[in-house]
Structures are given as C-alpha cells and as structure tokens.
Chains A and B, each alone.
Chain A
C-alpha cells in the first residue's frame, strides 16, 4: 500500500489516458482492416459470378423468387421458435388421461386377444 503523497499521479494519469486511447486506437485499426478484408473477399467472390456463362447468369427471375421466399419462411419460423422459447409459450398438454377403446386390427390382434377376449 502506498500513501497518496507517494503516488506518482502524473504517471497514473498518463497510463489511464494513454492506455484507454491506445485500446481505442488499436481496435479502430482493426475495424479498418476488417472492412478492407470484407471488401477484398466480397470482390473476390463476385468475380467468379461475373465469369459465369450467360445461361446461368440469365436464369429466370422466377427461379430466384421461391428461394428468397423460402428463406423468409425459414427466418419467420426461426423467429417464431425463438419468440415461443423466450416467452415460455408452448402447447399446454392436457393432464387428463382417457382409456382408449382397443379396436380389432391386424396390428393389435395379439394384444386384443390376450386381454379382451377372455370372457
């Protein structure tokens, strides 16, 4: 522990101010680099599209429309699922239990024979 008089306040203020400014400055540099990276990569991705044959490039708009619509549907479904999840809303299960009448069929004949036919 140091007494207040023993503290080198000029250095403390320097570390505080310069340190925070350096964090900001370094991360601003990273922002520019990320933007540059995004621009370079997206232009590299666009080029092959430009080189595609006309037949593909001129594909009817009708083909793209269902894809966009289905993407919207997907997003709507995901949004609804998240909404239900975060609100704890879901189907309320009935807690009543009913006895179901067993009917004859090819699928349950053995069970039916073991239980219901003993009269």
Chain B
C-alpha cells in the first residue's frame, strides 16, 4: 500500500503547479502554431517541445537552479561544466552548447552554406540598407533601458530587432542568459510573423509611385569575387571587431565551402546534417529555458512588446534610408527593398517582392531585396559584436 501511495505521490499530476500548467498549455499552443499554421516549424516545434519537457514536474530534464549556480560567483558550481555533467539532465547537458555559444555559430555556418551573396556583391550599396535596418536594435536598447532593464538585458532585447534567431541567442546567452527563453521565443515568433508585421509599415512609409519603381538588372558576379568575398569580409570584420568573429567567421566559412566548389561534401553537410542536428539541439534547449518561474513574468510581456517595436523600427529604418538614397542617387531604388535589411532570410525579401508586385505585377524585386537581406545578416552580427564589446 505504501509503495502505491509513494507511486501516486511521485506522479506529475500530483505535483504540477498552476504556473506549470499554464506553460504546458502555452507549449501546446506553440506546437499548434508550428504544425497547423506552419510558423517557422523547423524551430518552433523543437522550442515548443523543449518548453513542454522542461515544465513536466519531476521529469528533471532541465534544472534552472544549476544554471543559476553556474553564474553565481559565490557558488561552488560557478562556471563548472563538470557539475552540470554530473548533476544535470539531458537538456542541461545539451544546453552547454548554447551556453558556450557553439550552436548559434554552427547554425550560421549552415546559413552561410545556403546563402548566395551574389546580389550583395553586385550591389554593395545594399550594405547601407542592411546597416540602417539595425536602427531597431539600438532604439529598442534605449527603450528597454527606460523600462528598467539593465544595459546587458536591454542589449539582448534590442537584438530581437535584427530578426536573426542565432544572433539573438548568441548575444543573450553571453549578456543576459536569464532572458534567453523569452527572447528566443520572441525572436522566432516575430520572424515567422514578418509577412504580417512588415507590409503595413512598408505601405505607410512609401507612395504608390515609389512602390512601383523598377530597378535595373544586377550585374553578373564572377566566381572569383564570390570566393574572395567571404575571406575578405571575415578578415576585415574580425580585425575591426573581434567579438563578431565567431558569428561572421562561421557564416563566411559556410559560404566559402559553398562557393569554392572543391568541398561539396562539407558544404552539403553544413547545409543539411549539421544544420538539422544543431537546430534540434538549439530549439529543444532554448525551449527548455522557458520554465514557469522565468517565463511567467511581466518582463516577458515587456520583451514581447519591445520585440515588435524593434522589428518595426528596423523595417522603417531600412525603408527610410532607401528613400534618402533616392534623393541623392541618379539610379532610383525601390524603397521596399530597404525593409529586407532586417535579416529574416529569405522571408523579408519575399515580402518586398510581394508588396512590390501589388503595385506593379511585372516588377521583380526579389533578387534586389536579397542584397539588403543578406547584408542584414552581416549587419546584425556586427551589431551583436558591438553590443558584446560595449556591454559584455
């Protein structure tokens, strides 16, 4: 009889709290969005399942208290991965990859191996649009400070405006690991909502005439340029901003493997197997950080609100700079491509194409928008490096 009672006492049903119940419902909702609505399912599904696993009472797969002790200079477990390996659960062990900043860099390697920087090389001015779209990061940093977050936390919240999941996770794991769950979920949720968030801002800031501007065809880019590009960018960015080297270096390594044409096996592995494995680990562990105690908090709601603000400001920044460039430039550019300066590759470029075609069905902006889009990836990694240097 005693054994039966003990069994019942150990059941999760007997130990579940209201907060954990809410988190389980939230994870079910995110799973619904991932499966039924297909909002960034490759990431949202593992994130939601990680959230489900971590909030199951008694499962012991993730221990937030271990990671609190890991960050506490007075604790014997301070910066002790051995303690994590000895006492942690499956998700604690996988989380080491996030904590050490390994997964975001590996994902960047895969992103680089899948990205064609040709439109950016053909039209280097796109980099300006990618830079202007980082405005959201810094304005949100300012706003988050005024709302009572510390500077490190504000920097991590601001980086949501870069619309770049791996960069958000990389920076947050370094600056404000306690906010990793809400920030990662906000970043990926808003990336999935780019087609909803961006078009009203794009229409509000441009005239019909501007949206109908046709751009001249991009020049062809030689293979030599595509090979030299990742080497040159890595060298220059890492020499100017060493903190951005892990992200930019991995991005460009992946791209070099793709473009050089002599390591096809490595390139395919980066694009497929490596990328998929890391996405599973990253999604699961980031979701696992969304425990009831850390997630059900006013700060999460503030982060969600500021995430939208960051996205909106980034989109507006890119469009406004494109309009400004039109004032000084002979060759007009369609301001809609400026909104693609937030990373979100290639969804933001696709949104530019769709909104442009609403005005002029024969206008094809996709390749032009890919320039600012991939410039945004570089820009957000650079912004992360700058914030890490100044706040880390």
Contact = CB atoms under 8 A, between A and B. Distances in A.
Interface residues of A, number: 39
Contacts of B130: 27
A31 B128 contact: yes
Contact of A27 (B139, B141, B378): B378
A22 B137 CA distance: 13
Interface in B120-175: 120-121, 124-125, 127-128, 130-132, 134-135, 137-139, 141-142, 145-146, 148-151, 154-155
Contact of B237 (A4, A26, A35, A45): A26
Interface of A: 1-4, 7-9, 11-13, 15-20, 22-24, 26-31, 33-35, 37-38, 41-42, 44-45, 79, 82-83, 86-87
> Secondary structure of the A side of the interface?
helix
Nearest to A32: B124
Given A23-B134, A45-B222, A31 B236 contact: no
B357 A23 contact: no
Interface of B: 120-121, 124-125, 127-128, 130-132, 134-135, 137-139, 141-142, 145-146, 148-151, 154-155, 222, 224-225, 228-229, 232-233, 236-237, 240-241, 299, 353-354, 357, 361-362, 364, 375, 378-379, 382-383, 386-387, 390-391
Contacts of A82: 364
Given A20-B138, A27-B130, A37 B383 contact: no
A93 B149 CA distance: 60
A15 B125 CA distance: 25
A18 B228 CA distance: 30
A38 B222 CA distance: 9
Nearest to A22: B386
Q: Is the interface of B mostly helix, strand, loop or mixed?
A: helix
Contacts of B134: 20, 23
Nearest to B123: A34
B355 to A, nearest CB: 12
A34 B390 contact: no
A23 B375 CA distance: 11
B375 A12 contact: no
A110 B121 CA distance: 63
Contacts of B124: 30-31, 34-35, 38
Contact of A34 (B127, B146, B222, B382): B127
B127 A31 contact: yes
Contacts of A34: 120-121, 124, 127, 229
5 contacts: A9-B145, A23-B382, A30-B236, A38-B124, A86-B357
Nearest to B126: A31
Contacts of B353: 86
A17 B375 CA distance: 21
Residue from A15, A22, A28 with most neighbouring chain B CB atoms (10 Å): A15
A12 B125 contact: no
